[in-house]
Structure 1
């Protein structure tokens, strides 16, 4: 192997190292961003979501509900996509333990 081949290899290694450092920096920045909270993936229609309680059963006392701020504002659901009213109800309602 000639000296020029070694220099070329060193350059390639340095380029690759610099590239990996750049990728690591981007991944680190992305990981530091807060996760976007958008609720679950099921559609409201698929779970029979209605904007009124079913007796005493309502989203605000469901184990899947993530309250909004303030508590009277719409929140999120761990299973259902979109904005969820605290006074709504659906078929997958689950009591808080």
Structure 2
């Protein structure tokens, strides 16, 4: 399932909101959480943008939620330290760390 939305953590799990609906994923059902950065190329390589993807795997499903990841191609290719700092500060990286510490 691939969703766009917001999330909040509770003492028992994570709640994702998208539109008028929400989905609660208890920590007890989560096997793994991670954050990956994906690249999008627009208009034949002229414009490159990045998005962060929160990935949560349960016993029966994999949930992904996308968010913009504001980083330049120069940082990705030439300034790994700045890239790693931005990635570490992103909400999905912090969410994955929080989830993994509670499962």
TM range (shorter): under 0.3
Q: Choose between structure 1 and 2: higher helix proportion.
A: 1
Q: Looking at both structures, which has the greater relative contact order when contacts are Cα pairs under 8 Å and sequence separation is at least 6?
A: 1
Structure having the higher strand fraction is 2
Structure exhibiting the larger radius of gyration computed from Cα positions: 1
